[in-house]
Each structure stands twice: as structure tokens, then as C-alpha cells.
Amino acid sequence: MGLISKRGQEVKDTVNRDDIDLKKVYIRLKDGQSIKVRLLGVQDYVQYKAHANGFNFGIYTQPCLAPTGVECPLCKAYEHDKEEYKDLRPSNRYLVAMADLEENMIRVWDCSKTQLKNLIAQIEEYEDMITDPDEEVMFTFKRTGTKTSTSYTLSPIMNKKQKDSLREAYHSFDDKEVEDSFFEGCLVPRTESIIMNALKQAGVPVNEIFPDYVFEESTDEGSIEPVDDDNMPF
């Protein structure tokens, strides 16, 4: 085995990803919390395949590896016993990008299909304002409630003093667009080693399902903070 670990596009993807602070880029709000945002477009959202319900297995929301052409251990465990490991079934999740005017950075909100549908309805209500370059429409993005009673709302900021304080940050995003590479950089699966050790610790018969896998010492490499449990699919 050589000393080179990545080449070409793999290196490029890693370099681009290093520019994203995964601890800050995800919007995670608790009941009653809100942030001030600018929407850079009316369709800045993407769908990705995720494993989002495996809390009992120590698996928090993360991208499924299967779409990358790599065998996904979580999918394989689910296929081994779809009833026993139904919480490992992959499902669609969504990322919505918006500019945080207080942190002065583009961030993403991870959500379920129902949550996205509700947000799209709100975005479309203000579409003319969002797409009009002469408008300075700023929003308060707020969470209300917990677990299955959670809702998220976009409310235009009407207070002049508040808008004045955010104007410089607002215009710092003029002509900015959200590229697919940004979304890709936000989606970082845990390493195979971390996933396999989590399954093993959860009591999944990994030696039976993955007879050729050789366990190495577990590390925290590549781990990222889980999405708030209250944000899981409803």
C-alpha cells in the first residue's frame, strides 16, 4: 500500500470540503430560537439519501454511501433483516441553504419531506420579493415546538432599525449563488470504521453480516455532530 491516499477529483473534493466548518454550517435551533437570514434564491435546496432513524444503533443522520458506488454497511445491515433493522432503512432527507446574516455565512438546514414542503410554501409566498433585486427582504427563521409538534417559519423583518443593523451583512451576499459543491461539502459520511464499530456496539451481528471485515481500533476521525433528534422525520 503506497503513501498516496487520494488523487485528482478526490483531492479537489477534500480541499473544497475543508473550507466548510461542519460544526457551524448546520442550522440547529431549539424551541423558540431563531436566526436572521437572506434567501439567495427560491430553489436553494437539494435531496440526498440518508440514514436518519438509527439512534438506537448509535447512528445519527448521515448520508448513505450507496449513491457514491461504495457498499453501504447500513444498507447491508438493513437488507440482512428488514424487520429487525428497519430503523437503518435509507430515506430521503433535504438540505436548504440560506445566508445567516448574524454569522455572515451561508448555512444549511437539514429537514424532512414534510418540513421542506411547508418551507417551500412559505418561500413561494414571498417569491416576488426574494427575486426582486430592488427589494431588501430579510427573514426571521424560527423554530417553535419540539419533536412531532415542531414547526419552522419564515417571517419578513419589518422593523426598520433591525433591518438597518443587518443591511451591510445582507448586501455582502449580493450576486452570491449556492453551488452544488457547497451542498456536497456539507454531506460528510462517517468512516466505515466508525459505522462498523457503532453497529458492533449496538449488538448487530456484524461478523455474520460482514464476514470478511477486519475491525481496527475505533477513532473519532470523520465524526460530525448529529442532527438534533427533534429534527428527525415526522
Please state the pTM of the whole predicted model. Answer: 0.84
Give 10-residue mean pLDDT values along the chain (234 residues).
Answer: 63 63 95 98 97 88 91 95 96 98 98 97 97 95 95 96 97 96 93 90 94 74 45 37
Q: How far apart are CA 216 and CA 193, in angstroms?
A: 7
pLDDT recorded at residue 229: 43
pLDDT recorded at residue 10: 65
Beta bridge partners of residue 34, listed in sequence order: 142
